[in-house]
Amino acid sequence: MFDTFNKRKTRMHYIFSILIFCLSNNIVIGYSVNSNDKENSDFNDYTRYNVARDLLKELKSPVTGVSERSSPVTGLSSSAARKACYQGRCATGWTNFGNTCYYFDHEQVTFAEANRKCQQMHGQLVEVESEAEWVFLKTQAEKKSLDNFWIALTDAFEENDWSWINTWRTASFSIWSPGQPDNYNSDEHCAHAIESRQYQWNDWNWNKQAAFVCEA
Ligand SMILES: [Ca+2]
Ligand SMILES: [Ca+2]
């Protein structure tokens, strides 16, 4: 009887020791996973900060070799041109839709160059805010045989959080091509409309070249 009690006591002690060992190791493993998560998150924050900083630098850098381009309403200041566009009076070369004038440019440029060129014309790279606007752009692009073109959309600040570069508002409308955005090579943070996909969108490396559309 006493022996049985001692055996049971030894067994309980043994099981208890194993439990303590497993528990402490789990805590160590748990800590190490959390610590790795934090390191990964710090690393992701750091690389994402660099991506965003690089894009802002690109957007601010002056575009060289740009020829003088037409303003949406010839001879008017930027605000006057916008007011005229709002009234549906667009200059030659600009196309009216709703309260906005649009300029379709075939020149092949990077995302930042497209943005700057639109600004030089007193406009901005196009923000596509509704299906109606997208259908208008698509119809015009087909009519003008426009190749792939940049739109003002980026996820440079947070992966897969797409916002418009002029207003930094999160995009409420989007029409991605099937399988996109795929952030190919972890290096695609700007969007363009693809001609071969009926001008649905793809995320792309901002140093690639495409046509562009401005609005004012
Ligand atoms: Ca991306
Ligand atoms: Ca892509």
Q: Is residue 60 part of a domain?
A: no
**Is 59 a member of any domain?**
no
Ligand 2 mean position, distance from CA 186 (Å): 10
- What does the pLDDT read at residue 167? 84
- How many structural domains comprise the chain? 1
| Average pLDDT of span 121-150 | 95
**Which numbered ligand comes closest to the C-alpha of 189?**
1
Residue 25: pLDDT above 60? no
DSSP string for 33-96: HHHHHHHHHHHHHHHHHHHHHHHHHHHHSPPPSPPP---SSTT--HHHHHHHHHTT---TT-EE
Reported as a pLDDT band with limits 50, 70 and 90, residue 92 is confident
- Residue 201 in any domain: the answer is yes
Ligand nearest to the CA of 160: 1
Q: Ligand 2 centre from 161 Cα, in Å?
A: 14
d(C-alpha 95, C-alpha 170), whole Å:
26
Domain interval for residue 158: 78-215
- Whether 137 is in a domain gets the answer yes
CB atoms within 10 A of CB 170: 9
Q: How far is the CA of 151 from the centre of ligand 1 (A)?
A: 14
**Ion ligand 2 residues within 5 Å by Cβ:** 180, 182, 184, 188, 202-203
Asked if residue 69 is part of any domain, the answer here is no
CA 160 to centroid of ligand 2, rounded, Å: 11
Q: How far is the CA of 92 from the centre of ligand 1 (A)?
A: 36
Centre of ligand 2 to C-alpha 188, Å, is: 6
Residue 193 has pLDDT above 70, yes or no: yes
Residue 123 in domain:
yes
CA 205 to ligand 2 center in whole angstroms: 8
146: domain CATH number is: 3.10.100.10
CA 197 to ligand 1 centroid distance, Å: 19
pTM for the structure as a whole:
0.72
Report pLDDT digits (tens) over 136-162: 999 999 999 999 999 999 999 889 999
Ligand 1 center–CA 201 separation, angstroms? 13
Residue 4 has pLDDT above 50, yes or no: no
**64 belongs to a structural domain:** no
Does 157 map to a domain? yes
